[in-house]
Structure 1
Amino acid sequence: MTQTVELTEAAAYQVKDMMRHNEEEGSYLRVGVNGGGCSGLTYGLGFTKERHEEDELLEQHGLQILVSKEDGGILTGTKIDYKQSLMGGGFTITNPNAIASCGCGTSFRTKTKAGTPGDC
């Protein structure tokens, strides 16, 4: 069975580093989908201490990751990586369910969910 979300080792290292700097050790990494952006949906990554009954709990590279069941279908097979270049670094998200994305690269839509378009 495909995990909802796969975090690469590089992404996990970066998340752990961010947790240390923001005093968030012991928190969960919440991965989700929000309405907005010019294509209708945007990704959300953040730290939380709260786990809800409808959350799926994943453990990868020493991190506990939460994905709500509502977002799970949209995120199934999604890979989160962290890439470093001369211009800096950033997370990249590859979602096989996204059928369109905007030019700014921050929003997307799927075949079954268009979301609520807003500003990029």
Structure 2
Amino acid sequence: MIQISDSASDKLKEMLEEQEIPNMFLRLGVQEGGCSGFSYAMGFDDEETENDVYMNVNDLKVVIDKQSLPLINGLEIDYEDAGMSGGFTMHNPNATATCGCGASFRTATHAGKPAPEEC
């Protein structure tokens, strides 16, 4: 369902090791907002709900809420350590439009809000 590159997995595992709360995992999701309709949500969490779907990707526990899953199913996460311009990138095969920075997107079936004239 979700793919995480080796470089992104390594960076996420490193970041998880730095957390002081035990049993942390990667939480992915989307929220309404951003110039294209939806924004990605990615962070660490230690609590699951009955509304969550759990998966193991590259030995990382990944949790996604059921409402977000159709919007990011097939998401590919990568990480590039390129100094100031590096970081995590998202490639979403469901996105029909994205903003210039890649932080927000729109899909054909979940259009969110109408596309603005410019981002």
Q: Report the TM-score when normalising by structure 2.
A: 0.86
Offset from partner CA, 1:72-112 (integer Å, 9 cap, x none)? 11111111111122445200100000000112322110011
Q: Which runs of 4+ in 1 moved over 3 A?
A: none
**Richer in strand (by share):** 1
Q: Tell me which amino acid in the other structure corresponds to 2:32.
A: G
8 Å Cα contact 2:54-2:62 kept in structure 1:
yes
Percent identical: 41
Structure 2 unaligned residues grouped into runs of 5+: none
Pair 1:48-2:37 in alignment: no
Pair 1:108-2:105 in alignment: yes
Q: Equivalent residues in 2 for 1:1-120 (5 A)?
A: 3=1, 5-116=2-113
8 Å Cα contact 1:29-1:63 kept in structure 2:
yes
Quote the RMSD (CA, aligned, Å): 1.9
Deviation at 1:16, TM superposition (A): 1.2
Query: How far, CA to CA, are the matches of 1:80 and 1:51 in structure 2?
Result: 21
Deviation at 1:45, TM superposition (A): 0.4
8 Å Cα contact 1:24-1:47 kept in structure 2:
no
Paired residues in the alignment total: 116
Q: Report the TM-score when normalising by structure 1.
A: 0.85
